[in-house]
Structure 1
Amino acid sequence: MTSSTPPGWYPDAGLPATERWWDGTAWTAHTRPRDLAPQQFGPPPAPAPPVPPRGGSGPRTAVLAAVGAVLVAAVVAGAVVVGRGGGDDRPRTATSGPARTPTSDASDASDGKGTPTSSAPPAADPSLLVDELDGITLPVPDGWEKPSSTVEDVTTMRTEHSYDCPGDSASFCYHATVTSRTATQTELTSAEAVAKADIKDAANSSYDRDLVGNRNYDGITSHTQLASKSLSVAGRTGYLVRWRVRTSAGPGGYVETVAFPSPLGTESMVVVRLAFDAGADGPPLGTMDTITRGIRPIGDATSGGVGSSIGR
């Protein structure tokens, strides 16, 4: 039976106080402390029934127990309010808020064979790009879009308007693209090593040969390293590498890789790639710096409302 459960974080019974990422079809290796999950509100717990006195018995004890059971049933079912204003004597049921969303079964979380049940994550602020898996948000500049689907299945934002690629390709290109993903160099343990290893792949996928084999700019002819430094990203110590690449067709562009540990408290490294066209039609290079500085952990109060302040 095919599962329709959306991707999200669900309790992992095999790791107490921990949640594991369900990608929509299977459990992944990504985990995070459970107390970082957004709080879900539901009806207040029902009070416990009165406890009979020690050694008590007889009619009084039975009456107390019966009254307690009735009170519990009333709280769980919802209080009934009788409206008498304006001659309306019909009973009205008082609501007590939304029901708590059910979580995955303990056996499902531990063996990875079951399917969790939960509602989808809340819709993201339009001024933010949300990478739920890696626990970060990025500010979305004016004039950019968050495509619902891309060739590469990673969290993506890009300039709204496309143009015919200048190289030997029938594809459409974009003046700037930013992606966020989990690092694939799992054997590397430092942000510096991950960034330095990733920058070449980032440049090649943006300006040399894409995932489907198109050479949209007829390939990279040379590159110059503009920056290689440590920096703070989403409250963690990360590393940045930036190249200026030149291509056989078109003006080339700027490519940057930012690597840092996930703010979820896991051992996973996050990689944010930024590719901006050079020339008059490309976005200002300062926008690249603004996006990098605006990377925040999900839920950080300072991460919202910045999209309108970023140039095209």
Structure 2
Amino acid sequence: MTQTTPPGWHPDPGHSGIGPLQERWWDGSRWTDQLRIPPATVRRRRIRIGAGIAVGIVVLAAVGGGAYLLGDSSGDRTDSSAAAPAPSESPRLPGAPGGEGGQNGGQDGGEGQSPDQQMPQTEEGYATDAASGISIPVPDGWKGQSGAIGAGVTTGEYACPGDDAQTCVRGGVFSAPAQALKVEATTAKAAAEADIKANAEESYGEKIYGGITSHEELKSGAVTVAGQKGYLVRWKVVTKNGDDGYVESLAFPSPNVKSMLVVVRSGFDINAEAPKLSVLDDITKGIKEAEGSGSASGSGETA
């Protein structure tokens, strides 16, 4: 950039080639520390991973503990551990052949793709969120879904209570950059507190569960995740139809982009067939910096 270039967002000149290309703010004379995911990237992909995360290639919307597949505006289908868009189609995971790359690795990004379209590096036993620079552990029996922007793990498919043509899951944990969720906050605590209501409504909302009649805060406080100081808020929600549930919003700085907050949304049904809350704690502790992201890695643990 020259001094005659007006202030604005431009491709980050320091991009390492790992993960999607971000934009950095040029103030007219120098590069600042402000980074963002290009809005066109988020709009083009039109995905909702987990509880209303508008970020990736497939469109997922949270239902109960997890997500159901809504579709993909591009016409390309990726896999999801959630529900099919119609009863005649099987549930698919982003990460199986033709998808975004799964817990055991994905397809090659292909020649001619821009950095934000390339498949994330993935690790066996983890779902990788390349934009956030983190990997989420996939417990035994769960399904993992990796993405260039966003990732998640789910378990326990069943017919949704409000629409048996769609498939819900008993438990789900999903990540994305806070910006992709439109969470306006500058601290991890503020981000978690701002996101929990939207998380609850997306996870146990009107269409499938008849809406939430009440909620109780079960837990809130500081945590250390992937070596970063974060904050979580956990609610128990009561629904009109079907199972009640637990929802949690966790926020922390990205391990490789310090100016970017990551939000992890979780939802677990309250049901004998659903995973115990201790599993959610184990997943949180196991979140780590993604391999190759460029910073020192470390598992998350409660503070």
Instruction: Provide the TM-score with structure 1 as the length reference.
Output: 0.56
Distance 2:130 2:19 in 1: 11
Give the 3 Å change call, closer, same or farther, for CA 302–183 of structure 1 in structure 2: closer
Match of 1:143 among 141, 144, 156: 141
Distance 2:135 2:178 in 1: 16
Contact kept, 8 Å, 1:21 with 1:29, in 2: the verdict is no
Distance 1:119 1:186 in 2: 23
In structure 2, the residue matched to 1:134 is: 132
**Paired amino acid for 1:208:** G
Measured after TM superposition, the shift of residue 13 of structure 1 is: 8.4
In structure 2, the residue matched to 1:266 is: 258
Asked if 1:203 is matched to 2:200, the reply is yes
In structure 2, the residue matched to 1:255 is: 247
**Paired amino acid for 1:127:** G
In structure 1, the residue matched to 2:22 is: 28
Asked if 1:190 is matched to 2:187, the reply is yes
In structure 1, the residue matched to 2:61 is: none
Give the 3 Å change call, closer, same or farther, for CA 267–117 of structure 1 in structure 2: closer
Distance 2:261 2:115 in 1: 28
Which has the larger share of strand? 2
Alignment of structure 1 residues 108-123 onto 2, 5 Å: 116=114
**Paired amino acid for 2:132:** D
Asked if 1:125 is matched to 2:119, the reply is no
Distance 2:164 2:117 in 1: 42
Asked if 1:156 is matched to 2:148, the reply is no
| Unpaired stretches in structure 1, ≥5 consecutive residues | 1-11, 34-113, 210-214, 304-312
Post-superposition Cα deviations, 1:40-61, rounded to whole Å, max 9, x if no partner, equal: xxxxxxxxxxxxxxxxxxxxxx
Structure with greater Cα Rg = 1
Contact kept, 8 Å, 1:169 with 1:216, in 2: the verdict is no
Contact kept, 8 Å, 1:238 with 1:260, in 2: the verdict is yes
Measured after TM superposition, the shift of residue 292 of structure 1 is: 0.7
In structure 1, the residue matched to 2:271 is: 279
Measured after TM superposition, the shift of residue 30 of structure 1 is: 7.3
Root-mean-square deviation (Å) = 3.3
Measured after TM superposition, the shift of residue 234 of structure 1 is: 1.0
Distance 2:163 2:115 in 1: 47
Measured after TM superposition, the shift of residue 126 of structure 1 is: 3.2
Give the 3 Å change call, closer, same or farther, for CA 298–154 of structure 1 in structure 2: closer
Distance 2:150 2:11 in 1: 28
Distance 2:192 2:12 in 1: 33
**Paired amino acid for 1:220:** I
**Paired amino acid for 1:189:** T
Give the 3 Å change call, closer, same or farther, for CA 302–251 of structure 1 in structure 2: same
Contact kept, 8 Å, 1:208 with 1:218, in 2: the verdict is yes
Query: Secondary structure, in 3 states, of the residue corresponding to 1:226?
Result: strand
Instruction: Provide the TM-score with structure 2 as the length reference.
Output: 0.58
| Unpaired stretches in structure 2, ≥5 consecutive residues | 1-9, 26-32, 34-111
Distance 2:115 2:151 in 1: 23
- Shift >6 Å, 4+ stretches: none
